[in-house]
Structure 1
Amino acid sequence: MSILPFAGRFDPARLFAFKGGVHPETRKFLSAECEIEDMPIPALIRVPLQQHIGVEAEAIVERGDTVLKGQLIGKARGPVSANIHAPTSGQVIAVGHFTAPHPSGLPVPTITIRPDGRDEWGPRLPRLHPESAAPEQIAAQVAEAGIVGMGGATFPASVKLNLRAKYDLHTLVINAAECEPYLTCDDRLMRERAEEIADGAGIMARALGVKDIIVAIEANKPQAIQAMQRHKIALGYKMRIKTVPTQYPMGSEKHLVKTLTGRETPARALTAELGIVVHNAATAHAVHLAVRYGEPSISRVVTVSGRGVARPANVRALIGTPVADLIAHCGGLVEEPDRLLMGGPMMGQPIRNPRVPIVKGSGGILALTAEETREKDVMPCIRCGLCVQVCPMGLTPFELNTRVEAGDLDGAAKVGLLDCINCGCCSFTCPSNRPLVQTIQYAKGKLAERDSRKHQQDQAKRLAEARTARLEAIAEAKRAAMAKRKAEMAAKKKREAEAAQVVAEAVEATSRKEAAK
């Protein structure tokens, strides 16, 4: 769908409401006042090659190799992929499959490193001077650094930075809403690294070719707002700090853009079609480190929280650090958690095995007690419509649920299955405790699996048809060559016969002449 660009500037002082949303208890007080602390290097680091949306990276190291900190160990494949780097120095002890940080618990390609404790850097990426660097150079540096969206979406950041070539962009929005309960990693990053985040925002603005930068922060983070307001100029760009309402899912980029501009992004369209690109605050910080200091994406700040943790904290940990090590660093568990999550309580993924590693999109590890989850028995849907009222996408979750349970995936797709952003508002508000968002996620997975299978079948059919056509072409070429050879042989025999006839006639003529004498 083609979308017309802004006819004029939107009002920077005005905020707009979006439909739906909920107001869960934030419970950020557990870790909001905990300064970022560096975690020691773990005994083992497991680095999955799939930490981003798109094609998994290809391992370029082998078992037994010695690697240095920051060394490239997984090469991006295709236009939507991301490089993977060694978080520290050590020895590669395995290149194989290990349990993914995903509810499925299925193994994924993973590089396992035993750190040597020296934390020795290899050659870093070349430093750039963003004030004079070309936009293409900045985007290429971000790609080399393997930076992805660190708010959880994990879309390769360089792909977004290259949208300037396709769209008429005018605004960069730094998403610092951090609307998920419990999570405070972005809040602390803004309080402690505001200047670096602002610099990263300015660098991205230069890469995108935009004129305006807006940093959107929820109202429940006054200290972060105050810290960011000290840096209103970033790399020569004016940066506006906007305080947005504390409402979930304010962190959804389409809803954040609606709040800031009043404009809606159509279903399955990009905010870039409105001239706006959204990046997370932690992503801006990672861009600053990559461009200014040549540091690839090898660590991140993670909130470890919940009543089940002895000491909630905000920890800077290496990518690939096991969840169990993070929890142990925070004093361990005070009781067996009712739910262990990677991410926030609304959209986070259950952790079945605490040995799984954190990845680039891991903003939090939550150990929630039974009191915090308050699980109830699932009851039949009473058609109250509350899920419809709170859905920020304007969908009818109860109808989606009914169609999915009946196995009607195509029908569910027709009423908006693929437009669901999996925010969990419907499940949160359901008085019957229906697992609506889980059912919808399951259906989207089944639909994707079916479409993938159909694509594979179509691809196999296309390849088979291409092979048949190729074999037929080869056979036709052979037949043509055989016919040509036969024609040439026939022509040769004819010429030989004609030559023999000429010789015979000449001999006969000579014989007649001699007889006449």
Structure 2
Amino acid sequence: MSSAATIFDFHGGIHPEQNKTQSLQLPLGKPKLPQELILPLGQHIGQASRPLVHVGDYVLKGQTIAINNGFLSSFLHAPTSGHIKAIEEKAIAHPSGLQDACIVLEPDNQETWCELHPLPLWQESTKTDVLTYLAEMGIVGMGGAGFPTQVKLQGAQKNNLEYLIINAAECEPYITADDMLIREKTAQLVQGIQILQFLAEANEVLIGIEDNKPKAIERLQNELRIRHLEKQIKLVVVPTKYPSGGEKQLIQLLTDQEVPSGKHPIDIGIICQNVGTCVAIYDAIVLGKPLISRITTLTGDALSQPQNVEVLLGTPIEHLLNYAGCDASQLQRLIMGGPMMGFTLENHAVPVVKTTNCILAGTAKELPQPAPEQACIRCGMCEQVCPASLLPQQLLWFTKSQEFEKAEHYNLFDCIECGACSYVCPSNIPLVQYYRHGKSEIREAREANIKSDHAKIRFEARKARQEAEAAEKEAKRLARTKPAPKKDHDKKVAAGTPEAAKPSTANDASKKLKIDIAIAKAKLKKLEKALTTAQEEERSESISQLQIEVDEQKNTLSQLETELSTVAPAPVKTAKVTNSEEAAIKQLKIDTAIAKAAVKKIEKAIKRAEDINAPELGELNQQLETATSRAAELDKSLTAAKDAFEKSSTEKNSITVERKGPSDTDQVASKKLKIDIAIANAAVKKAKKNIDAMKSDGLDESAIEASGLTKKLNENEAKVTALQAQLAQLTPSSTNTSSDTKAEAPNPLADQIKKQKIAVALAKAQLSKLNKKLEKEPENAAEIQIAISEKQAAQMVAETELSQLLNTQEKN
């Protein structure tokens, strides 16, 4: 047996009776079609699939009947040809014994395949295309919780992988499905591993297998030798010990690396896949067949013909028991999975799913009733055998006393629920059941907090809507009681001067809605982050609830944005002077900048959604259309307001210029030159600073010259010299001004420029303060980022206003 790699060990572990020979006496069986196939829509971790068919539809074997319903979801295909009998709630294989949505397929016994589309040129395709194809083939992990394969491989592409580990250990007693699969489909397994290596690009590929599978080991060795892959794919034979097939335990056995608490193997550059998943990948890529069947072990003393069978998904367990000759009088307990980590089935009509690896039909002698629980004697045996290096005794006390925070602090969620502690406990304490209860209570508390936050958000949104409706009613009432405008006022409006469309109450409602929208966006980001965390941690109980809350929050945000579009901001009345017109234009500029930023944000979201083929794509496109239309409207209004303002400003400035004396003109020009000199000096300082930074980074003069900074520095220095010379020519004129000049009336344009400079400086200071706050408070990043976007828009508007004032001053 080849074992070139060094074998390490993990803490704890036990050696229960294996009982694997019973199901290996007969060849791989293939049961006949049952009368109906029951296909649950949730055969994997994450969101359940979304049906594509309707009752009465005729489907072909391999045809897609349900598609993925989110990032952490999968496709589902018809295991045979026939008619859709029902889409309803049916009992499923779950410890709760509850029902779930299922598609019921009535076979026509023709086994008519749909047209298959394999991917023969997979090596020439992009990895994204291959992953998309695997997602459409419904490939999920077949050795654990059913994690969608394309999602795990997408994570692998974002990290540099050291190891790709193929899990062939199959450590749990009674189960021999992987052993039989390796014997029967050795070539397909090796080719599937090669495809996985193409997608993962790991530095090393290791196959971990226990030494209690001599025939499977021999066939794997022969296949690797025939294909000359012994150096690329290393077969590592490990000693038999439970639970060496656990993902983290197998990683420690093969690499001597421990996955940190709360982390995943991908975080340390390792990815694991089951042998069943590798064969499913081969069938999909090379043959074009989706995942519609799997090898399952039928074992236990209640069966007269225990064996492994290749069974179609959706086949009722009762049909398989009859096939294997189950003696109902001897059947004491029916378990899906092994005796250590499996769960009892009360309903024999539940179907086989993608993760069903064993059906154990045990007798009373084989699976006796557990002895009564007794008090803990503090022997410490549970700690000695725990493969996760936990403290089971302390966790038991915390869960019993409802101190779940302490249990979580002691890494309760690192428990893999292998059952080793319960197996060795002399007091017959069902430790794993206590830990499962503790995990469930913690998850429920988390979900309750999320629901509470969601209820608060809905209450605030409802309150905001009510206030907006009240403000709109008040605005309409005031509009009806408002006196008719005067004739000269009408002329100004006709000339293009901005006019208030609604009373100030409507403007207040608009501001309130904008605040509510910012809050809703921040909470949406928070929920999306929680959803992503739940998906990464594979917390299936939280994922569905979080997905619902994300969808509801999106609807709330959409409603608020719709209400905002109906409550237009109240522009400033034209009866006031130019300052009011400027305020109206400034407000329009801010609204336009925000609208354009929203368009860009939605475009980025659409691009991300297209990459993962998200179902929200249609909704995003609709939001983009609305946002683009609003941005165009605001831009048009802004252009019209600017034209009107410039026209009135030109007329006023022409009168003002006529009243100015020669010394006043020199004074304005002098101030303008000083401002230009200050700007040029700032550019010189900035260029010098950048050049010094490049030198400190080790770049030579040629690189600095190529960057253009030296040229820019010389140009700005020359500009400073020229401007200073112009200022020197104006100095005598400026200094000879008499005391009468000082007594002149103040210059309104200069005052406006001064105020605008203060506004620009204030906006910059506030923006700098927010950026520092973002660094100190990353947990509030969503809210701070919204404020930063608004301040950036305000700064841009202030700088534009300053530039226009300076241009006007120069013309004058």
- With structure 2 as the length reference, what TM-score do the two structures score? 0.57
Q: Is the contact between residue 23 and residue 176 of structure 2 (CA under 8 Å) also seen in structure 1?
A: yes
The residue aligned with 1:69 is 61
Partner-residue secondary structure (3-state), 1:232: helix
Q: Is the contact between residue 299 and residue 318 of structure 1 (CA under 8 Å) also seen in structure 2?
A: yes
Residue 135 of structure 1, aligned match among 127, 130, 134? 127
Q: How does 1:34-45 map to 2 (within 5 A)?
A: 34-45=26-37
The residue aligned with 1:336 is 330
Number of positions where the alignment pairs a residue of Structure 1 with one of Structure 2: 485
User: Which protein has the bigger helix share?
Assistant: 2
Any idea what the Cα deviations from partners look like across 1:85-136, whole Å, max 9, x if unmatched?
Answer: 1111111111010011012111100111111111111233443323323221
Q: Deviation at 1:485?
A: 7.2
After superposition, the Cα gap between the structure-2 partners of 1:350 and 1:125, relative to the gap in structure 1 and judged at 3 Å, is: farther
1:174 maps onto 2:166 in alignment: yes
The residue aligned with 1:253 is 247
Counterpart CA distance in 2 for 1:235 and 1:173 is: 19
Partner-residue secondary structure (3-state), 2:301: coil
After superposition, the Cα gap between the structure-2 partners of 1:101 and 1:79, relative to the gap in structure 1 and judged at 3 Å, is: same
Letter matched to residue 455 of structure 2? A
Q: Deviation at 1:71?
A: 1.2
Partner-residue secondary structure (3-state), 1:189: helix
The residue aligned with 1:398 is 393
Letter matched to residue 145 of structure 2? A
The residue aligned with 2:238 is 244
Letter matched to residue 272 of structure 1? I
Residue 30 of structure 1, aligned match among 22, 25, 38? 22
Q: Is the contact between residue 261 and residue 411 of structure 2 (CA under 8 Å) also seen in structure 1?
A: no
Counterpart CA distance in 1 for 2:228 and 2:153 is: 16
Q: How does 1:197-208 map to 2 (within 5 A)?
A: 197-208=189-200
Which is worse superposed, 476-485 or 95-104? 476-485
The residue aligned with 2:114 is 122
Q: Is the contact between residue 5 and residue 234 of structure 2 (CA under 8 Å) also seen in structure 1?
A: no
The residue aligned with 1:49 is 41
Residue 417 of structure 1, aligned match among 412, 416, 433? 412
User: Which protein has the bigger strand share?
Assistant: 1
Residue 426 of structure 1, aligned match among 421, 424, 438? 421
Q: Deviation at 1:21?
A: 1.1
The residue aligned with 1:500 is none
Partner-residue secondary structure (3-state), 2:85: strand
Q: How does 1:103-114 map to 2 (within 5 A)?
A: 103-114=95-106
1:280 maps onto 2:274 in alignment: yes
Letter matched to residue 302 of structure 1? T
Letter matched to residue 271 of structure 1? P
Letter matched to residue 460 of structure 2? E
Counterpart CA distance in 2 for 1:471 and 1:207 is: 53
Structure of higher CA gyration radius:
2
Letter matched to residue 288 of structure 2? G
After superposition, the Cα gap between the structure-2 partners of 1:306 and 1:491, relative to the gap in structure 1 and judged at 3 Å, is: same
The residue aligned with 1:194 is 186
Q: Deviation at 1:480?
A: 5.7
Counterpart CA distance in 1 for 2:338 and 2:112 is: 33
Q: Is the contact between residue 330 and residue 364 of structure 2 (CA under 8 Å) also seen in structure 1?
A: no
Any idea what the Cα deviations from partners look like across 1:331-366, whole Å, max 9, x if unmatched?
Answer: 122643232110111111111111000100000000
The residue aligned with 1:347 is 341
Letter matched to residue 355 of structure 1? A
The residue aligned with 1:442 is 437
The residue aligned with 1:302 is 296
Q: Is the contact between residue 318 and residue 349 of structure 2 (CA under 8 Å) also seen in structure 1?
A: yes
Residue 5 of structure 2, aligned match among 6, 13, 18? 13
Letter matched to residue 310 of structure 1? S
Counterpart CA distance in 1 for 2:415 and 2:109 is: 45
Counterpart CA distance in 2 for 1:495 and 1:425 is: 88
Partner-residue secondary structure (3-state), 1:263: coil
Q: Deviation at 1:483?
A: 5.7
Q: Is the contact between residue 393 and residue 420 of structure 1 (CA under 8 Å) also seen in structure 2?
A: yes
After superposition, the Cα gap between the structure-2 partners of 1:203 and 1:443, relative to the gap in structure 1 and judged at 3 Å, is: same
Q: Is the contact between residue 403 and residue 409 of structure 1 (CA under 8 Å) also seen in structure 2?
A: yes
Counterpart CA distance in 2 for 1:364 and 1:163 is: 29
Letter matched to residue 368 of structure 1? G
Q: How does 1:137-156 map to 2 (within 5 A)?
A: 137-156=129-148
Letter matched to residue 313 of structure 1? Q
Q: Deviation at 1:20?
A: 1.1
Q: Is the contact between residue 90 and residue 99 of structure 2 (CA under 8 Å) also seen in structure 1?
A: yes
After superposition, the Cα gap between the structure-2 partners of 1:495 and 1:258, relative to the gap in structure 1 and judged at 3 Å, is: closer
Q: Is the contact between residue 16 and residue 262 of structure 1 (CA under 8 Å) also seen in structure 2?
A: yes
Which is worse superposed, 219-228 or 373-382? 373-382
Q: Deviation at 1:275?
A: 1.3
Which is worse superposed, 113-122 or 460-469? 460-469
Q: Deviation at 1:450?
A: 2.6
Q: Deviation at 1:205?
A: 1.0
Q: How does 1:445-460 map to 2 (within 5 A)?
A: 445-460=440-455
Q: How does 1:470-481 map to 2 (within 5 A)?
A: 470-473=465-468, 475-476=470-471, 479=474
Counterpart CA distance in 1 for 2:285 and 2:454 is: 41
Which is worse superposed, 228-237 or 244-253? 228-237
The residue aligned with 1:326 is 320
Counterpart CA distance in 2 for 1:226 and 1:335 is: 40
Partner-residue secondary structure (3-state), 1:412: helix
Q: Is the contact between residue 380 and residue 432 of structure 1 (CA under 8 Å) also seen in structure 2?
A: yes
Q: Deviation at 1:66?
A: 1.3
Letter matched to residue 40 of structure 1? K
After superposition, the Cα gap between the structure-2 partners of 1:208 and 1:235, relative to the gap in structure 1 and judged at 3 Å, is: farther
Q: Is the contact between residue 202 and residue 235 of structure 1 (CA under 8 Å) also seen in structure 2?
A: no
Partner-residue secondary structure (3-state), 2:21: helix
Q: Is the contact between residue 177 and residue 216 of structure 1 (CA under 8 Å) also seen in structure 2?
A: yes
Q: Deviation at 1:67?
A: 1.3
Partner-residue secondary structure (3-state), 2:102: strand
Q: Deviation at 1:482?
A: 6.1
Letter matched to residue 374 of structure 2? M
Partner-residue secondary structure (3-state), 1:216: strand
1:60 maps onto 2:52 in alignment: yes
Which is worse superposed, 331-340 or 139-148? 331-340
Any idea what the Cα deviations from partners look like across 1:466-508, whole Å, max 9, x if unmatched?
Answer: 3433443555466567667766x45449969xxxxxxxxxxxx
Identity among equivalent positions (%) equals 40
CA RMSD of aligned residues (A): 2.2
Letter matched to residue 422 of structure 1? E
Counterpart CA distance in 2 for 1:442 and 1:128 is: 48
The residue aligned with 2:809 is none
Counterpart CA distance in 1 for 2:158 and 2:399 is: 37
Any idea what the Cα deviations from partners look like across 1:195-224, whole Å, max 9, x if unmatched?
Answer: 100101110111112242111100111111
Counterpart CA distance in 1 for 2:398 and 2:271 is: 35
Any idea what the Cα deviations from partners look like across 1:293-313, whole Å, max 9, x if unmatched?
Answer: 111111000000011111110
Counterpart CA distance in 2 for 1:463 and 1:165 is: 39
Counterpart CA distance in 1 for 2:222 and 2:362 is: 36
Q: Deviation at 1:401?
A: 2.2
After superposition, the Cα gap between the structure-2 partners of 1:411 and 1:164, relative to the gap in structure 1 and judged at 3 Å, is: closer
The residue aligned with 1:232 is 224
Structure 2: which 5+ residue stretches go unaligned? 491-812
Q: How does 1:76-95 map to 2 (within 5 A)?
A: 76-95=68-87
